[in-house]
Amino acid sequence: MSTSAFDLNDPATDPFEVAEQAAAVIAERTGATRHDVALVLGSGWRQAGDRIGETLATIDNAEVPGFHAGAVEGHSRTMRSVAIGDTGRRALVYGTRTHFYEGRGVRPVVHAVRTAHAAGCSTVVLTNGCGGLNPAWKPGTTVLISDHINLSAQSPIEGATFVDVTDLYTPRLREIAREVDPTLEEGVYVQFRGPQYETPAEVRMAKILGGDLVGMSTGLEAIAARQVGLDVLGISLVTNLAAGISDKPLSHEEVLEAGQAAADRCADLLAAIVRRLP
Ligand code: 8IG
C-alpha cells in the first residue's frame, strides 16, 4: 500500500517527485541505472514482454512509490525490466495501467509515464485494446494511433503549461512500425471516460468528429509523455467493433477472447518494433 509520503493525490505532493522516487526504486530493484524504452501493455498485448528479450527483474507494482495493484480482470500487477534482444538496451515493461475510470484521479493514470521518463526512457510505447469504428477492421486488427481526441474532460497537466501536441504520436516511430509491418492501419483514437462502453449514438458522434477507434486510456498518457519530452508510439488492437457498428452487444469476456486470439501476433509485432526503436 502507498504511504502518505507517496500519496499522489495529496495536493501538496509533487507528482514528478514521486516519479523520481519510483525511478530510484526501479533502479535499485533492477540493477539498471537507466531504462531506454517503456511499454504500457494493454488488453491483448501482455505477451509482448516475453518476446522482447530476457526478463531481468520483475517488481510488484505495489512496492513502487505511487503505483498500486491493478483493478481489471486479466491485467497483471507487475512491471519488468527486459533486455531488448542483445542490444544492451533495456525496456521497462508495465504489465498494467491505471485507468481514469478507477476514480483515483488523473495523476495515477500518468504516473507510469512520468516514472519512465525519470528512469531515463526517451520513448514510450502505449498499447491498448479498443473498439473499432471502421467495419472493415475486424477484431484482431492492429492500428497505429496517428492522433487522438480527448473526450475525458481531463488533462494530466496542472497549471498554465501550454504543451504543443501537434505531433503527439511521433511520426518517425510510426514509420518504423510500418517498416516492420507495412499492412498496419492508422487511425484517430477517441478517449472516452468509461467505464461503460459507448452508446451507439456516442459511437456515431465519435465517427463524425473524425475518430476511428474508441477507448478509455492512452490519450492522457500520451499528453503526459509529451509534457516531459518523450517520443510516443501508440498501437491499438481492435478487440471489438464499437457499439452499434455490429449488431452484437459488447462484453468484457469477448474483449478478453479477441485479445487472446491476437496475442501471439501482437507480441511478435511489438517485439520487432521495439528492437528497431532509436
Ligand atoms: I477492449 O468499444 C475496448 N475498450 N471506450 N469502447 C471503449 N473502450 C473499449 C472498447 C470500446 N473496447
Task: Please classify residue 153 by burial: count the beta carbons closer than 10 Å to its beta carbon, then call 0-12 exposed, 13-18 middle and 19+ buried.
Answer: exposed
Distance 103 CA to ligand 1 centre (A): 18
Asked, for residue 2, whether it belongs to a domain, the answer is no
- Report pTM: 0.94
Q: Ligand 1 in contact with 197 (CB < 6 A)?
A: yes
**Residue 8 within a domain:** no
Task: Check pocket membership of 100 for ligand 1, CB cut-off 6 A.
Answer: no
| CATH code of the domain containing 162 | 3.40.50.1580
Q: Is 254 a catalytic residue?
A: no
Distance 122 CA to ligand 1 centre (A): 28
In a domain, 10, yes or no: no
Structurally, how many domains does the chain consist of? Answer: 1
Residue 9 domain-assigned (yes or no): no
Give me the domain span that covers residue 93: 15-276
pLDDT tens string, the chain, 278 residues long: the values are: 444 457 888 889 999 999 999 999 999 999 999 999 999 999 889 889 899 999 999 999 989 999 986 555 545 589 999 999 888 999 999 999 999 999 999 999 999 999 999 999 999 999 999 999 999 998 899 999 999 999 999 999 999 999 999 999 999 999 999 999 999 999 999 999 999 999 999 999 999 999 999 999 999 999 999 999 999 999 999 999 999 998 878 878 877 888 788 899 999 999 999 999 98
**Spatial distance between the Cα atoms of 243 and 251, rounded to a whole number of angstroms:** 10
Q: Tell me if 146 is assigned to some domain.
A: yes
Helix axes 219-227, 107-118, angle to 10 degrees: 40
